[in-house]
C-alpha cells in the first residue's frame, strides 16, 4: 500500500509538471529570465553586439530539448514501467482491465476488484502522462522556436535601427562635408571674381600716373623752403593751404577712364586675414597669451573682459570660421577713391554726376580729410577704423555703409537743400532736398564728434557702443535705430523721428537727458515711459570700448556724475 501511495504522489507531481498550465509558463519564465536579465542589466545593445553568442545558446538549449525529447520518446516504455507499472498505454488495452473490474465487482470480490481498479488507474495515469509529455515536447520546441524567432526579429530590428543611426550620422557628416564643399566652391568663385577684378589694377595705376601728371601741371609753382630768398610767411601759407584740385578740371579722357574703372571693378569676397582689424583688447589678449606663467595676470585680464562683455555686450567680431570676409567689397573702388584723395582732388561731384560708382568701396588708407563727396554713390562701402575729418557727404547714398570703430569729426552726413545744390547737380525732382541716405548704416564703436546728420534718413542705423558728442541729429529719421551702450553728450535731436529707437544702456551725463529727449523729439515718436535713468559710479566708464575718447569731451570732468539709461519694457 505504501508503494502504491508513493507512486500516486509521483503521478500527481509529474502530472502537474507535464501539464501545459505549468510546464509551458515555467519554460517561458526560464527563457525570459535567461534573455531578459542580461538585457535589463546591460541593455539591448549588448544582445545585439553578442547576438551570435545569444542565439548559439538558445539554439543549444533547443537542441538539448530535442535530444531530451528524443530520449524520452525512445525510452518511454521503461520509464512508464518504472513509474506506472505499465509499458503499454494504447487506448485499446484499457478495455480488458475495465471489464475485469466490472466482473469482479459483480462477483463480490472486492479486494481483487480494488487491485484491478488500481492497476486501471495506473494505466490511465500512464496514458495521461504520455499525452502530456507529447504536448510538453511540442510546446517546448514551439516555445523555443518562437523565442528564437522573436529575439531574432527584435535583434534584427534593433540592428536595423543601429544601422539607421549610423547612416544618419554618416549622412549628417556628408551634409557637413557638402556644406564645407559649398563654402569652398563659393570661396573659389569669389576668388575667381577677385582675380578678374584685380586685372584692372594696371589700368588703375595708369590712371594714377595720368592723374598725377595732370594735377602737377595745374599746381602753382611751389616755394622751396630751402631757398634763402623765400619768406617764412610765404612758406607757412603754402603749408597751411595745401593744393586742392577739382574733379571738374579733369580732362574728359581721364574722367572717362576713372568712371569706367569704378564700374568695371566688381565687388567680391576675398580671403580675410584673421589678425587684421583686431581691437586693442584682442591685441592685448594675444600678447598675454604667450606669457603662460602669468596665471593671475591673465585671470584678471579675462575678468575685465568678461565684465565688459556683461556690461556692454559682445564686442565686434574679428575672427570668423569663414575664410572669406563677411560681405562683398571692392578694394579696387576704394583704391580709386584713395588715389583721388592722395592726388589732391578736392571733390567728386562731377565724377558722381557722370556715373562714377563707389558702392562697396573698401577704403584702406588711414584717413580721409577735407574732401567733398556730395551725392556720391557709396552704398555698402566700408570705412571702418579710418579717420574721417571734415568730409562733406551731404546727399550721398550711404545705405548699409560701415564705419565701425572709425574716428569721425566735423563730417556732414546731412541732406542738402535744393537751393544749396551746386552744379552739375540740380534740384531734386520731387523733394525740397537731396536726402542723405544712411539706412542700415553701421557706426558701432565709432567716435563721432561735431558732426551733422540733419534731415538724413537713418532707419535701423547702428550706433551701439559708439561715442557721440556735439552732433546734430535734428529732423533726422532715426526710426528703429539703436544707441545701445553708447556714450551720448550734448547732441541735438530736435524734431528727430525716434520711433522705436533703443537707448538701453546708453551712458549720459545730464540728469534730465530723457526729459530733454522727449521735448526735442518729433511729437509722438519717443516713448518716455519706456526708459528710466539710473545714476552709476565711475567704475562703469573704464570698461567702455571708447573710454579713452571721453577725455576729449568738453564739460565732462573726472568727478562728473554719470547716468545710464535703462529700458523698462518692450517696444511692442
Q: What is the pLDDT of residues 504-535, one digit of tens each?
A: 999 999 999 999 999 999 999 999 999 999 99
| DSSP state for residue 266 in the 8-state scheme | P
Set of cell numbers at residue 114: 480494488
> What is the pLDDT confidence band of residue 332, given thresholds at 50, 70 and 90?
very high
The total domain count for the chain is: 1
Task: State the chain's mean pLDDT as an integer.
Answer: 80
Whether the ω angle into residue 424 lies within 30 degrees of 0, i.e. cis, is yes
Q: What are phi and psi of 100, to 5 degrees?
A: -65, -40
> In this structure, is residue 183 part of a structural domain?
no
558 is a domain residue: no
Q: Which domain holds residue 28?
A: 2-174
- State how far the Cα of 390 lies from the Cα of 212, in Å rounded to an integer: 24
As a whole number of angstroms, the distance between CA 59 and CA 62 comes to 5
Report the pLDDT value the prediction gives residue 507, as an integer from 0 to 100. Answer: 93
**Structure confidence at residue 11 as a pLDDT band (50, 70, 90):** very low
Q: Report the DSSP beta bridge partners of residue 447.
A: 407, 467
In a domain, 10, yes or no: yes
User: How far, in Å, are 271, 335, 406 from residue 267 at the CA level?
Assistant: 13, 13, 22
Does a structural domain hold residue 182? no
Range from 21-30, 47-56, 291-300 that averages highest in pLDDT: 291-300
Per-residue three-class SS string for 271-340: ECCCCCCCCHHHHHHHHHHCCCCCHHHHHHHHHHHHHHHHHHCCCCCCCCCCCECCCCEEHHHHHHHHHH
Identify the pLDDT of residue 160: 82
Residue 151 inside a domain? The answer is yes
Residue 154, domain member (yes or no): yes
Q: Is the pLDDT of residue 2 over 50?
A: no
Confirm whether 9 is domain-assigned. yes
Residue pair 47/39 in contact by the 8 Å Cβ criterion: yes
In a domain, 33, yes or no: yes
Report pLDDT for 1.
Answer: 43
CA-based R_g, the chain, Å = 48
371 versus 199: the higher-pLDDT residue is 371
- Spell 172-192 as b/e; 16+ CB within 10 A means b: eeeeeeeeeeeeeeebeebbe
Pairwise CA distance, residues 179 & 220, whole Å: 60
CA distance 331 to 119: 115
Pick the range with the lowest mean pLDDT from 95-99, 187-191, 438-442.
Answer: 95-99
Cβ(116)–Cβ(97) under 8 Å? yes
Mind listing the pLDDT tens digit for each residue in 121-172?
A: 767 776 667 777 777 777 777 777 777 777 677 667 777 887 888 899 999 9
Instruction: Give the burial string for 267-291 (b: 16+ CB within 10 Å, else e).
Output: bbbbebeeeebeeeebeeeeeeeee
| CA neighbor of 472 nearest in space, from 443, 447, 450, 446 | 450
Distance, in Å, from the CA atom of 188 to the CA atom of 268, rounded to the nearest integer, reads: 11
Task: Give the chain's length.
Answer: 572
pLDDT tens digits for range 376-408: 999 999 999 999 999 999 999 999 999 999 999
Q: Which residue has the higher pLDDT, 425 or 75?
A: 425
Residue 266 pLDDT: 87
Amino acid at each position: 500500500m505504501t508503494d502504491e501511495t508513493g507512486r500516486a504522489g509521483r503521478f500527481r507531481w509529474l502530472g502537474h509538471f507535464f501539464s501545459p498550465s505549468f510546464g509551458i509558463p515555467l519554460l517561458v519564465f526560464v527563457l525570459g529570465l535567461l534573455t531578459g536579465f542580461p538585457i535589463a542589466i546591460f541593455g539591448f545593445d549588448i544582445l545585439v553586439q553578442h547576438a551570435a553568442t545569444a542565439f548559439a545558446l538558445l539554439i543549444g538549449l533547443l537542441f538539448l530539448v530535442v535530444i531530451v525529447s528524443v530520449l524520452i520518446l525512445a525510452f518511454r516504455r521503461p520509464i512508464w514501467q518504472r513509474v506506472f507499472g505499465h509499458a503499454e498505454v494504447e487506448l485499446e488495452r484499457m478495455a480488458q482491465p475495465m471489464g475485469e473490474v466490472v466482473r469482479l465487482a459483480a462477483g463480490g470480490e472486492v479486494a481483487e476488484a480494488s487491485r484491478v481498479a488500481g492497476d486501471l488507474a495506473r494505466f490511465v495515469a500512464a496514458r495521461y502522462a504520455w499525452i502530456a509529455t507529447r504536448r510538453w515536447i511540442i510546446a517546448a520546441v514551439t516555445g523555443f522556436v518562437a523565442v528564437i524567432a522573436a529575439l531574432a526579429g527584435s535583434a534584427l530590428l534593433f540592428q536595423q535601427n543601429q544601422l539607421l543611426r549610423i547612416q544618419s550620422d554618416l549622412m549628417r557628416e556628408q551634409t557637413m562635408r557638402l556644406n564645407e564643399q559649398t563654402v569652398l566652391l563659393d570661396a573659389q568663385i569669389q576668388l575667381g571674381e577677385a582675380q578678374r577684378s584685380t586685372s584692372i589694377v594696371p589700368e588703375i595705376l595708369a590712371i594714377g600716373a595720368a592723374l598725377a601728371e595732370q594735377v602737377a601741371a595745374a599746381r602753382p609753382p611751389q616755394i622751396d623752403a630751402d631757398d634763402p630768398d623765400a619768406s617764412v610767411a610765404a612758406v607757412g601759407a603754402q603749408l597751411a593751404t595745401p593744393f586742392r584740385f577739382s574733379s571738374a578740371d579733369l580732362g574728359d579722357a581721364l574722367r572717362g577712364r576713372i568712371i569706367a574703372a569704378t564700374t568695371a571693378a566688381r565687388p567680391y569676397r576675398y580671403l580675410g586675414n584673421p589678425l587684421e582689424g583686431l581691437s586693442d583688447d584682442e591685441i592685448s589678449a594675444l600678447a598675454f597669451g604667450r606669457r603662460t606663467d602669468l596665471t593671475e595676470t591673465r585671470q584678471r585680464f579675462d575678468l575685465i573682459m568678461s565684465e565688459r562683455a556683461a556690461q556692454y555686450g559682445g564686442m565686434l567680431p574679428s575672427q570668423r570660421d569663414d575664410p572669406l570676409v563677411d560681405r562683398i567689397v571692392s578694394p579696387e573702388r576704394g583704391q580709386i577713391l584713395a588715389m583721388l584723395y592722395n592726388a589732391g582732388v578736392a571733390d567728386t561731384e562731377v565724377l558722381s554726376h557722370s556715373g562714377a560708382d563707389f558702392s562697396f568701396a573698401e577704403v584702406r588708407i588711414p584717413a580721409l580729410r577735407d574732401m567733398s563727396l556730395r551725392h556720391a554713390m557709396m552704398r555698402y562701402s566700408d570705412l571702418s577704423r579710418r579717420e574721417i575729418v571734415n568730409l562733406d557727404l551731404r546727399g550721398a547714398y550711404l545705405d548699409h555703409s560701415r564705419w565701425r570703430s572709425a574716428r569721425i569729426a566735423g563730417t556732414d552726413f546731412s541732406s542738402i537743400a535744393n537751393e544749396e545744390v551746386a552744379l552739375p547737380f540740380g534740384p531734386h525732382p520731387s523733394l525740397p532736398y537731396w536726402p542723405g541716405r544712411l539706412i542700415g548704416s553701421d557706426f558701432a564703436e565709432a567716435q563721432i564728434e561735431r558732426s551733422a546728420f540733419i534731415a538724413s534718413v537713418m532707419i535701423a542705423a547702428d550706433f551701439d557702443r559708439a561715442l557721440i558728442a556735439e552732433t546734430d541729429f535734428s529732423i533726422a529719421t532715426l526710426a528703429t535705430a539703436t544707441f545701445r551702450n553708447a556714450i551720448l553728450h550734448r547732441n541735438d535731436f530736435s524734431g528727430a523721428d525716434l520711433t522705436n529707437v533703443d537707448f538701453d544702456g546708453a551712458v549720459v551725463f545730464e540728469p534730465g537727458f530723457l526729459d530733454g529727449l522727449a521735448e526735442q523729439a518729433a511729437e509722438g515718436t519717443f516713448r518716455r515711459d519706456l526708459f528710466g535713468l539710473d545714476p552709476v559710479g565711475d567704475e562703469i566708464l573704464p570698461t567702455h570700448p571708447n573710454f579713452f575718447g571721453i577725455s576729449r569731451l568738453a564739460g565732462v570732468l573726472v568727478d562728473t556724475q554719470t547716468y545710464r539709461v535703462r529700458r523698462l519694457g518692450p517696444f511692442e
